[in-house]
Structure 1
Amino acid sequence: YEETDDQTRVIQEVRRDMESPQPMDRLLCGDVGYGKTEVAMRAAFKAAMDGKQVAVLCPTTVLANQHLTTFRQRMMLFPVRIEGLTRLQTKKEQQEILTDLKKGFVDIVIGTHRLLSPDVEFKDLGLLIIDEEQRFGVSHKEKIKKLKTNVDVLTLTATPIPRTLNLALSGLRDISLIETPPRDRLAVHTVVAPFNSRLVASAVKQELERLGQVYYIHNRIEDIDRIARLVEKLVPEAKVITIHGQMPGSELEKRMSAFIGQKYNVLISTTIIENGIDIPLVNTLLVDRADFYGLAQLYQLRGRVGRSSRQAYAYFLVPPLSELTAEARERLKALKEFSELGSGFRLAARDLEIRGAGNILGHRQHGFIEAVGYEYFLQLLDKAIREQKGEKIEEIKCQINLKIDFRIPEDYLPQVNLRLNLYKRLSSLEQPDEALKIREEVEDRFGPLPPSVENLFYYARIRFYGQKIRATSLDRSGLRLVIKFPPETNFLWNKVQGLLRRYGGSVSPLGLISFNIKAEDEQSFLREALFILQELSSYIIIN
């Protein structure tokens, strides 16, 4: 097995975390089919070799069964006992596994929500792997964390839910990204179209002609057989089989094995196959009523195809676009927009924007953030965390009142979201040079800047230096620039005197410094004000 560069880096990060005295809590975000399971397998093997037990929590029986087969094949030559705990095991088998788990005879247990039952006890649990964490509720995750407080936790996902992504981005959890695709991998060709039986027939025929297999997702058990008959009628040569979550475990396993063994070439299924199923021959996916699914769900479904070097196709079938809700249209648009390889993380970030970040200490996994906006929410969170750590928090707010127009006119930038985005970018500069790069980009995209937008770029840099010199306010009185400082501010006064002489300025005992600026127009006033602030920033003494 040849690792990608990202996999090698992530394996090292996980190993370092597992060997550190603090328990690991790492989110591994890698695109669908990018080899997250490989990283998890190596972590599980390391824990088992160190004498610890490992629990692998999967959202579905089908996925747990697939992991069980993969783990057993990989660790066949080593003294590692791996068992499954799902509804595919009989009551008697489950009881035997539970007894051996408690005694420490089972090294790795792979299961569904069954692992969260009160009767599951470990002798020495060292690592918990949560696969496809977006499928679990907060209460499930908190329940398994209670198993043992000093357990290492590795969470795998392609599209983290807003709450998890927010926890990772705000530094409350570590995050690792796998962004390099396996060699020869192609992006899935995505089509969003109204349901049309001719389209279904041609998509299925095209796949069967190259001796491949097809998934058709229909999430209503009551009429899944009707869809199977429709596909058989449209494509007589298709060998169709259906599966869904209400089937007995043994029947489900039998049908899945028959499909994997290529006795059938079209699988009509509910979303039971959504997570982690890996059959390289399946390279066409059709999803009925795609408008009913969430963004991460559609992305996971699309990830079931394109797992080899063949070109794969995903057809999301919807009612006429005019009948869709605005949010459904937004989701499908995002899915088409992010169809290239490695876009799961960006899709999750878009989901965070659409739905909000959820409640970190509570159970809601999305929402709330729209009340204050994501940036401000993170600032509040960062402040609260630093207060808890006992760090000194310095808040410098510089009020600016230069009586000059700093607006982006509607006739220059008509789209309100683009205007807001530009204001936001200019208000959160980390370096003043960033404003010049943004200015070039705006001029290149939208043409020469109107005077008020030119003023805005000056204003952004003036604000940056105002904060840097710790001024509490910048005011304009006629042609005078008046700067107010807190009493404890200290400067290299001999340098400041030279600047005051140059501009005929003065200093008052109340912490006010004023400069006379001989300016013909607003822009020359802003230019001089910016120069003065830049000079002052090199004279301030920061204790």
Structure 2
Amino acid sequence: MRLKLTQLLHLVEEMPAYRQLVDELEQKNGTAKAVVLEAAKPYLIAALYQSLRLPMVVVTAQPEKCRKLYEQLLTWSDPSQVKLFPEPDALPYERIASDASTELERVQVLSALADINGEAHAPLVVVSAPALMQKTTPHGDFISACHTVKLGMNIEPFHLLRQWEAMGYRMENMVEMPGTIGHRGGIIDIYPPTSDLPVRLEFLGNTIESIRLFDPASQRSLTSASSIAIGPAIELLTPLLSNRAELEQVLGSINLSGCSAEIRQQFKQELAMLLDKQRPHNMQFYAPLFNKDSILNFLPPACLLVLDEPMNIEQAVDDLEAQASQLRTEKLERGELSPDFPKPYFTWKELEPQAPAATLYHGKRQSRG
């Protein structure tokens, strides 16, 4: 059983230095610097999260440290609000299929920051430098895809199914996993990534007569609901949401002249699949053609960004950029990559201006050099 230490967080509020830190962060465009012992960082972060009641993103340099901090914060905060934004499975420019659980976690974090359920529950997100620098789906595309289905709503069932397939949901005979949908007669099942349970919609004609949560194992209905928020099921949304003309403009601009005959053929086959709204097994490889934002673009105006040892984060981003540049050079030399293929990540100089007004720096703030 996990210990619950949230009742100890109020003790730090009696310290003048902590009250001053909170005051500084609550100022308009407030930034602050705090130097604390490594063991005290989870406590301080959880205390600030409780005091400020704002969405918070904590950035660490390395994935290992990120996961450790995430585990610690689960003890100090409400576990339902603490989230981990994982790194992508593939190296830059690598053609492999994404792990479904990794993509699910990333979508859940983006959904929480976008507050698609409208519950105004401020999430506490922990992210490593590799995950921070990875480009993600445009915030506008993500938000525009979100919608709410309500009891009594008039909507054609097949329209809903087409809409959800364009948001990345996969059609299955039985809905048991997040990101899937099913249809039989006047019933549609859907399992949104943000829902603890799948949802069953029963139609009379084009009218939604009932909305029920159900057990994915037994498939039996559990409780009724008056509405359900539906968000994207995948991170790479744009190629599924775009029309053919828009896709042709993006996909037709790729220069394959420097690629080997085998790679050129692979590109053509997979680009044809994307044009037909199909999803290649290595679809994430093509994300840089469409993904333009970072997780920072999903932060609301009132939020807090915590940089845990900023110089180490900057160093980690720079190191990863150097490794990615080397990989790109090698692939270009082997004819495995289009010369104008966009980068799948942001550099530190590109990320810094995206930081929100309220930022807490753990350790030295100044840049290296």
TM (norm. structure 2) is: 0.36
Larger Rg: 1
TM-score with structure 1 setting the length: 0.25
Higher relative contact order (CA 8 A, sep 6+): 2
